[in-house]
Amino acid sequence: MKIVIVGGGFAGINLAKELGNVKGIEVTLVDKNNYNFFPPLIYQVATAYLEPSSISYPFRKFFAGKKNLTFRLGEVIKVNQEQNTIELNNGELSYDYLVFATGAETSYFGMENVKKNAIPMKTLNDAIEMRNKLLQNMEKAAICKDTRKRRKLLTIVVAGGGPTGVEVSGMFAEMRKGVLLKEYPELSTSASNIYLVDGGDALLSPMSKKSQQDTYDELTKMGVVVKLNTRVVDFNGDTVFFANGESIDTKNLIWAAGVTAKEFEGIAPESYGRGKRLATDEFNKIHNTANIYAIGDTCIQLTDKNFPSGHPQVAQVAIQQGKNLAKNFISLMNNKPLKPFEYKDKGSMAIIGKNKAVVDIPKPKMHFNGFIAWMVWLFIHLISLITYRNRLQTFYNWMVAYFAKDQSFRMIIRPEKRAKSSDLKV
């Protein structure tokens, strides 16, 4: 049985991991990057509290010793369902079963200026770009004599009140009180604001009312200006414009407001559901296909009785779907019954700042905040990292940051030449 997995995020890597060294199954994982990374912590790379290697790991090193797992660097161009092949930007692959685990990408809701000028927060590349841009703007502000221009360079607007928006806002608030005062004495008297804006009426909308209120209160105490029912409609690189007619002058709009799935040539339009997500049955097989599956953020499954509108696009769904599909492939090979996917919700959490977090657990229904929730957040994120090396490295960096109240990763690293997809062609 030849299985091709497209995408090496939470869903793809867990599927591959479960199939490692299983006799009779050959797995090829395709990804445009040669490494797996941990999205919940990219904001800490973006704010220079972790280095990229702390939350990433090469696929080939991860697959070493697993004889039936291979890696292919590339991007999917087209699916040929009749021939059971996929065309990549650097060749072709055949399959018996194809699995899309491509996650989601940033959605700008059709706003081209926002897409052009805002800083996205979805990939490791985004995190490094964000770190570079923010550090560059701070250096510019340090030598800027014009008060208005300096304020514009230092003001940060974060769009999106989900976990990423909340966490990055809290991190900036702490940096403003610590790093900015210590390392940029030229800016100690400069005015700057951190705004967190969201089009809804609450932060962390999927979480409990207690978590939403705790988060709002803590961020406000930290000096973050929270603006709810406020939707971004434009950003020209100097000013963020909102639907209610208000605006904020800034050079920094961090976009954490929306995601969308990817579309693939060769997959019929009727196979897609809401948000361009691939619609699947209870076994994660894509509608109107014979042997193509989708797992994680890129799929929408309406067969789970507890989630009739589809599962949330979170890590635990992707991990559980990857593991369930692996068991079903093994059952399929052995002519055994398949197991429908049912999501087991283990809870939701978000970190706000040092010793500040919120955690909701559904069964039994419980809510934590403050230091206990912060410790739970740290533990869960540590054990969720893919390797022991990642866990130890991240734990060490966190301890240094906790006791020293700082980290030393604020380097502006600017490659002279950007990698292009054409660079992969032979």
Neighbouring-strand partners of residue 348: 360
Least confident of 121-125, 278-282, 293-297, 337-341: 121-125
Cβ atoms within 10 Å of 5's Cβ, excluding its own: 29
Kindly give, in sequence order, each residue whose CB lies less than 8 Å from that of residue 414, ignoring residues fewer than 6 positions away: 132
Phi and psi dihedrals of 282, rounded to 5?
-70, -15
Two tokens at 231?
A: 């939707």
- Determine the Cα–Cα distance for residues 53 and 27; give it in Å rounded to an integer: 25
Q: Report the first-to-last Cα separation within the chain, whole angstroms.
A: 28
As to burial, measured by CB atoms within 10 angstroms (0-12 exposed, 13-18 middle, 19+ buried), residue 48 is: buried
As to burial, measured by CB atoms within 10 angstroms (0-12 exposed, 13-18 middle, 19+ buried), residue 209 is: exposed
Contact 43, 167 (CB under 8 A): yes
- Determine the Cα–Cα distance for residues 325 and 143; give it in Å rounded to an integer: 56
The pLDDT of residue 418 is 55
As to burial, measured by CB atoms within 10 angstroms (0-12 exposed, 13-18 middle, 19+ buried), residue 67 is: exposed
Answer with the residue of higher pLDDT: 414 or 121.
121
Two tokens at 208?
A: 């409990």
Whole-Å CA distances, 116 to 169, 366, 416: 22, 42, 20
Whether residue 322 has pLDDT greater than 50: yes
The CA-based angle 373-375-379, given to 5 degrees, is: 115
Cis bond upstream, residue 185 (ω within 30): no
As to burial, measured by CB atoms within 10 angstroms (0-12 exposed, 13-18 middle, 19+ buried), residue 105 is: middle
The pLDDT of residue 43 is 87
pLDDT in tens, 386-424: 888 888 888 887 777 666 655 566 666 665 555 555 554
Mean pLDDT of 369-387: 87
Kindly state the greatest CA–CA separation across the chain. 74
Residue appearing with tokens 């790093």: 179
Contact 25, 17 (CB under 8 A): no
Residue appearing with tokens 């790379």: 45
The pLDDT of residue 5 is 98
The pLDDT of residue 424 is 45
Cβ atoms within 10 Å of 330's Cβ, excluding its own: 17
- Determine the Cα–Cα distance for residues 116 and 156; give it in Å rounded to an integer: 17
Whether residue 87 has pLDDT greater than 90: yes
DSSP string, 257-278: S-EE----BTS-GGGB-GGGPE
What is the chain's Cα-based Rg? 22
pLDDT in tens, 5-47: 999 999 999 999 999 999 999 999 999 999 999 888 898 888 8
The pLDDT of residue 50 is 83
Q: Which of 383, 404, 405, 406 has the alpha carbon at shortest distance from 395? A: 383
Two tokens at 74?
A: 């590339």
- Determine the Cα–Cα distance for residues 155 and 136; give it in Å rounded to an integer: 13
Answer with the residue of higher pLDDT: 200 or 383.
200
User: What percent of the chain is predicted at pLDDT more than 90?
Assistant: 68
348-353 vs 356-361, strand pairing mode:
antiparallel
Cβ atoms within 10 Å of 426's Cβ, excluding its own: 4
The pLDDT of residue 116 is 96
- Which domains can be identified in the chain, with CATH numbers? 2-32+74-104+261-333 (3.50.50.60), 112-259+347-404 (3.50.50.100)
- Determine the Cα–Cα distance for residues 384 and 315; give it in Å rounded to an integer: 10
pTM above 0.75, yes or no: yes
Contact 29, 109 (CB under 8 A): no
Neighbouring-strand partners of residue 80: 85
Q: Which of 157, 120, 170, 122 has the alpha carbon at shortest distance from 358? A: 170
Whether residue 190 has pLDDT greater than 80: no
Residue type, 26: E
Mean pLDDT of 109-137: 91
Task: State which H helix or E strand residue 232 sits in.
Answer: strand 232-235
Mean pLDDT of 160-189: 85
Sign, CA torsion 24/18/57/34: positive
Whether residue 184 has pLDDT greater than 60: yes
